[in-house]
Amino acid sequence: MKFNNVYIEREILKSFYTKNILDKINYGKIILCDKYTEVFNPKNQNFRIQKMNPNIILAKKRKKLIFKTPEDYTIGFEKNFYFSHMLNCVYDCSYCFLQGMFNSANYLVFVNYEDYFKEIAKIINTNTNNRICFFSGYDCDSLALDYLTNFVTNFVDFFSRYQNAFLEIRTKSVNIKPLFKFKPSKNIIIAYSINPQSVIEKFEEKTPNFEKRLNALKKIQEKGWNIGLRFDPIFISKKNKNEYLIFLERIFSKLDCSLIHSVTIGKFRMPEVFLKKIIKIRPEDSFNFTNFIKKDIEEEMMIKHFYSNIEKYVNKNKIFYN
C-alpha cells in the first residue's frame, strides 16, 4: 500500500507497532506531530478528495478507549462495549456515517494496543459474573487493513485468555487468512455486514461482492469459528422484497444455520447533523439519503416479513432487531 504522507505522533515513533506498519508500506515522507488531532480534526479538509488518496496517521489513543454501546443494542449479552483501534475505512459506502462524523478521510491507526488490553481487562475483571461483549469495527472495517494493523493477531490472542468476554469482529472484508493462524476461539464472533448484490452495487462501493462475503463466511464457519450475520443497514422495500428473500435462501442454504451465533437486523439510521454534512459532500446521493431516513410503515412491514423468514432457519433467540 502506498501513502504520500505518514503522520506520526512523536510519542509513538519508536513503538514496535509503528515500526511494524512502516515496514509494510510505501510512503513519500514522514511528518511528525504532537497530537493526531492537529492533522485529523481541522475542519478545512475535503473528505471526498482525501478519500481518493488517503494518508495514514499513526497515533496513541488517550483518554477514553472503551465505550458502552447504546442501551438497546445487544446480541444477547448482559453488558456491551465497543472500541476502535482505527478510524476510517478502505471502502466507500455511500451511507457510511464516518464521513459525517470525521473531517478527514485519512486512516488513523491507534497503535497503543497494550492500553486497550489494560482497559478491556479492567472491565472483564470487574464483571466476572456477567457475559460481556466487546464490539470492534464501528469506526473502521476490522479486517480490511489487518495486514497493516495486525488487529486480529493481537486481539484474538488477547481474548483467548478470557471465558466470559466475547469479541465481535465486524467486517465486509474477505481478508480472512489472519484468523486461520489460530485455533477457533469460542469467544470470537466474525460478523459480516451483508446485503443483496444490487444493494452492494448501489451503496457499498469498493466492497467485496455478496458471493465473496458468503464464501468467506462459509470458510470461517467450516474452520470452526462463530459467525454472525448483520443485515445492517437493511434497505428492503416493496420493490426489492423478493430479492431479499432469495438472498436469505442463498445464505441459509450455504451455511450451517444451527451454528450461526447471531443475526441482527438494523435500519439505516444517522444523526441529523451527520446526514446534513454527508448531503453536502455527496450531493449526488442526497436523493437516496432522504429516502433512507423516511420512517415508513411499509418498510417496517417488509422488515417484519424478512425477520419471519429468518426465523425459518435460525432460532428466534439468536435474532435481534436493533
- In the complex with ligand SF4, the residue whose CB is nearer, 92 or 115, is 92
Residue 174 makes contact with ligand SF4 by CB under 6 A: no
Work out whether strand 86-87 and strand 107-110 pair parallel, antiparallel, or are unpaired: antiparallel
Q: How far is the CB of 94 from ligand SF4 (least distance, A)?
A: 9
Q: Map the footprint of ligand SF4 across residues 102-141, applying CB under 6 A.
A: 140-141
Residue 98 makes contact with ligand SF4 by CB under 6 A: yes
- In the complex with ligand SF4, the residue whose CB is nearer, 165 or 172, is 172
- In the complex with ligand SF4, the residue whose CB is nearer, 93 or 234, is 93
Decide if 260 contacts 319 (C-beta within 8 A).
Answer: no
Pick the binder of ligand SF4 from 57, 89, 145, 216 (CB under 6 A).
89
Cell numbers that stand for 143 in this block: 479486517
Q: How far is the CB of 274 from ligand SF4 (least distance, A)?
A: 12
Q: Supply φ then ψ for residue 108, to 5 degrees.
A: -110, 115
Residue 101 makes contact with ligand SF4 by CB under 6 A: no
- In the complex with ligand SF4, the residue whose CB is nearer, 124 or 217, is 217
Instruction: Identify which range of 29-37, 85-93, 108-116, 277-285 contacts ligand SF4 by CB under 6 A.
Output: 85-93
For residues 58 and 30, what is the distance between their CA atoms, to the nearest angstrom? 10
Q: Supply φ then ψ for residue 182, to 5 degrees.
A: -110, 155
Q: How far is the CB of 46 from ligand SF4 (least distance, A)?
A: 17
For residues 98 and 105, what is the distance between their CA atoms, to the nearest angstrom? 8
- In the complex with ligand SF4, the residue whose CB is nearer, 91 or 117, is 91
Q: How far is the CB of 201 from ligand SF4 (least distance, A)?
A: 14
Radius of gyration from C-alpha coordinates of the chain: 20
Residue 146 makes contact with ligand SF4 by CB under 6 A: no
| CA dihedral of residues 66, 71, 76, 78 (deg, nearest 10) | 70
Pick the binder of ligand SF4 from 51, 85, 172, 267 (CB under 6 A).
172
Residue 230 makes contact with ligand SF4 by CB under 6 A: no
Residue 232 makes contact with ligand SF4 by CB under 6 A: no
- In the complex with ligand SF4, the residue whose CB is nearer, 286 or 315, is 286
Pick the binder of ligand SF4 from 93, 108, 109, 302 (CB under 6 A).
93
Q: How far is the CB of 95 from ligand SF4 (least distance, A)?
A: 7
Residue 96 makes contact with ligand SF4 by CB under 6 A: yes
Cell numbers that stand for 218 in this block: 462459509
- In the complex with ligand SF4, the residue whose CB is nearer, 91 or 182, is 91
Place of cell 464483571: 127
Contacts with ligand SF4 by CB under 6 A lie at 89, 91-93, 96, 98, 140-141, 172
